[in-house]
Amino acid sequence: MSRLFPRPWLSGALFAAALMFWGVAPLPLAGAALLALVLPLGLARVGAPSSPLARPGRAARLAAVVLWDIVVANVAVARLVLGPPGRLRPAFVAVPLDAPHPQVAAALAMIVTMTPGTVSADIDEGCTRLLVHVLDTGDPARVAADIKLRYERALMEIFGCSTSR
C-alpha cells in the first residue's frame, strides 16, 4: 500500500482540496482521485524530501482553523473592498520564524497566501523570516503575532520541530 500511496496524508489532502474546488460529481471525483494518486507518486520518484507528520490529529485541527479564518477573512476583505479606498492600510509585515524548518516555512507561506487579505512575499534563505503583504493592518506586530500563534505553533507540532533555536 505504501508503494501506491507513498504520502497518504498528502493524497488525502489533495483529494479533499480538489473536491472543494471542483465539487462532487463523477468527473471531479475521478480527477481528484487521479491527482491524489499521481502527484505524490511523482514526488516520491523525483526524490522530493518527505517529512512524516508527528501529529496528524493536530493537522486536522489546523485545517479547521485555517478554513474558519478563510471564511472570516473573506467577509473582512469584502467590507474593505466595498468601502472607501482610503480605509485600506496595506503593509509588508516581517514574521520571524521560530524553527528554521523548510517544510514549516513553506506550509506557513501557503496558509498565509490562502487567507484573503494576505500574501506571502518571501521566505529568507535560512527559513527564519516570512515576509507577508497585508491588505489592511493597523498593528504589524499584532499581525505577525497572530500568524505565529494561529499557524506556526501548530505547524511546528505537526512536523515535530522544537521551539528552541
Note the pLDDT tens digit of each residue in 117-162. Answer: 999 999 999 889 999 999 998 899 999 999 999 999 999 988 888 6
Q: How far is CA 134 from the centre of its chain?
A: 16
Is there a domain that residue 124 lies in? yes
Same-domain status, 81 and 145: yes
pTM over 0.75: no
Residue 165 pLDDT exceeds 50 = no
DSSP state of 124: -
Query: DSSP 3-state assignment of 71?
Result: helix
Domain span at residue 128 reads 56-158
At a CB cut-off of 8 Å and minimum separation 6, what does 118 contact? Answer: 73, 112, 132, 133, 134, 135
Same-domain status, 82 and 119: yes
C-alpha cell at 94: 516581517
Would you state the pLDDT for residue 46? 61
* Total number of domains in the chain: 2
Would you state the pLDDT for residue 56? 72
Same-domain status, 79 and 111: yes
Same-domain status, 62 and 117: yes
The pLDDT of 8-23, averaged and rounded, is 81
The pLDDT of 22-29, averaged and rounded, is 84
Same-domain status, 153 and 90: yes
Is there a domain that residue 31 lies in? yes
Is there a domain that residue 165 lies in? no
